[in-house]
Amino acid sequence: MKISLNPQAKDVATRDALVAEGGFGKYYTDHMVVCEWSEKDGWSEPELKPYGPISLDPATAVFHYGQEIFEGMKAYRQPDKSIALFRPEANAKRFARSAKRLALPEMPESLFLETVETLVQHDGGWVPNKVGESLYLRPFMFATEVGLGVRPSNKALYMLIATPVGAYFDPSKAVSVWISTEYVRAALGGTGEAKCGGNYAASLIAQKAAAAQGCDQVVWIDAIERRWVEEMGGMNLYFVKGTGADATVMTPKLTGTLLPGITRDSILSVAADLGYKVEETMISIDDWRDGVASGLITEIFACGTAAVVSPVGQAKSTMGTWVTGDGQPGKITMQIRNALLGIQHGEIADTHKWMHAVI
Ligand SMILES: *Cc1c(COP(=O)(O)O)cnc(C)c1O
């Protein structure tokens, strides 16, 4: 990798003050990684360089036809002050699958990991120290062929940026959701399984509709039968059936339209490790409404890299409003959240070998 250090890198005091401010995506680290691809020459040597704006021709393909994908992953400070990534190989594999679906080049896993490790090695000082805090890494790639012809681009640019994330989890606040029956996120054969910007572009109007209903997030249901629960915004969903040691932890099955979350996948193992029955199954909006009414469904939570685990409280739809529990995060939700965060921060044994040491 070519290394071009930032002569204007923040001094330690300034950097630490920015990291301490917390938030999400407010500040970016001193460096970024870029790597070009062309059909003719393949992948170029990646370069670590100062974080900063890029310049693109107005006729660049991505601006017109939206050929773009991204990933989201985190680096966590460990008790011995070293830094480790959580399952970056899983992100590398998903990035390649998303690339394939968007007719972009599949970046080799080793190259993807090299870029992530190199950025963390150079900007490791930006990784916060407390549990619940981390450095969020955003790899992305887009079509850079210049021209308005509609075809898979023969050039692409991969970039990697990073932003420190504070502990913004408020345990007293469950997320409220609007179940959208008007809009569709994904249909079989579409791009629902790919992590692409276009999915988000098409989802924002529903997010707006949710806000207009006084809800924090939108919940997506399937495109065909309009009854199977799929996801919440950019996160996967979990439902807890029953209480205590006999509880079952369920998540909607991957049907080809859901984004296969790495947090979702990890929780299947963590919940089983904690002794719960786990199920990947079809969950309908009727199951949700009736389960909450009868008390069979005791807890609901959403999960994803950014927030890890967020309790879901009130659900609103054209069919009515249902509230799970007492609006406080459920016991099992918090137990799973703490178990996963414990592994990520190196405080609980990493029996699944998920942590990838960097420095
Ligand atoms: C990224 C994403 C998720 C969560 O995936 P993680 O790997 O757990 O971060 C869920 N749904 C959508 C639509 C996403 O884009």
Q: Which amino acid is at 266?
A: S
For residue 304, report the distance from its CA to the centre of ligand 1, in Å.
5
Q: How many CB atoms lie within 10 A of CB 162?
A: 28
Nearest CA to ligand 1 atom 13: 234
- Collapse the DSSP code of 114 into the 3-class scheme (helix H, G, I; strand E, B; otherwise coil) and give the result: helix
Q: Give the distance from CA 356 to its chain's centroid.
A: 18
Nearest CA to ligand 1 atom 6: 261
**DSSP tag of 11:** P
Whether the pLDDT of residue 204 is over 80: the answer is: yes
- Taking a C-beta distance cutoff of 8 angstroms, is the pair 214, 241 a contact? no
For residue 246, report the distance from its CA to the centre of ligand 1, in Å.
28
- Taking a C-beta distance cutoff of 8 angstroms, is the pair 180, 211 a contact? no
139-171 per-position pLDDT tens digit: 999 999 999 999 999 999 999 999 999 887 777
Q: Parallel, antiparallel, or unpaired: how do β-strands 297-304 and 277-281 relate? A: unpaired
pLDDT at site 158 = 99
CATH number corresponding to 175-340: 3.20.10.10
- Give the residues across from 235 on adjacent strands: 232
pLDDT at site 230 = 98
Phi, psi angles (nearest 5°) of residue 354 = -85, -30
Pocket residue to mutate for ligand 1, from 236, 336, 337, most atoms within 8 A of Cβ: 236
Nearest CA to ligand 1 atom 10: 235
15-24 per-position pLDDT tens digit: 999 999 988 8
pLDDT at site 219 = 98
279-309 per-position pLDDT tens digit: 999 999 999 999 999 999 999 999 999 999 9
Nearest CA to ligand 1 atom 15: 234
Selected from 1.10.10.10, 1.10.1200.120, 3.90.550.10, 3.30.470.10, the CATH number assigned to the domain covering 2-165 reads 3.30.470.10
Q: Parallel, antiparallel, or unpaired: how do β-strands 31-38 and 155-165 relate? A: antiparallel
Phi, psi angles (nearest 5°) of residue 283 = -125, 120
pLDDT at site 76 = 98
CA dihedral 311, 231, 278, 335 (to 10 degrees): -20
For residue 67, report the distance from its CA to the centre of ligand 1, in Å.
19
Residues of the chain with CATH 3.20.10.10: 175-340
Q: With bands split at pLDDT 50, 70 and 90, how would you rate the model's confidence at 110?
A: very high
Q: With bands split at pLDDT 50, 70 and 90, how would you rate the model's confidence at 33?
A: very high
Average pLDDT across the chain, whole number: 96
For residue 3, report the distance from its CA to the centre of ligand 1, in Å.
31
**DSSP tag of 324:** -
Q: Which residue has the tokens 């003050």?
A: 17
Q: Which amino acid is at 251?
A: T
Within 6 A (CB) of ligand 1 lie 72, 195, 231, 234-236, 259, 261-264, 304-305
pLDDT at site 22 = 83
- Collapse the DSSP code of 53 into the 3-class scheme (helix H, G, I; strand E, B; otherwise coil) and give the result: coil
CA distances from 176 to 66, 230, 303 (A): 31, 16, 14
pLDDT at site 183 = 97
Residues of the chain with CATH 3.30.470.10: 2-165
311-351 per-position pLDDT tens digit: 999 999 998 999 987 767 899 999 999 999 999 999 999 99
Nearest CA to ligand 1 atom 3: 235
For residue 233, report the distance from its CA to the centre of ligand 1, in Å.
9
Backbone CA torsion sign across 282, 286, 288, 294? negative
Question: Average pLDDT of 40-60?
Answer: 98
For residue 57, report the distance from its CA to the centre of ligand 1, in Å.
31
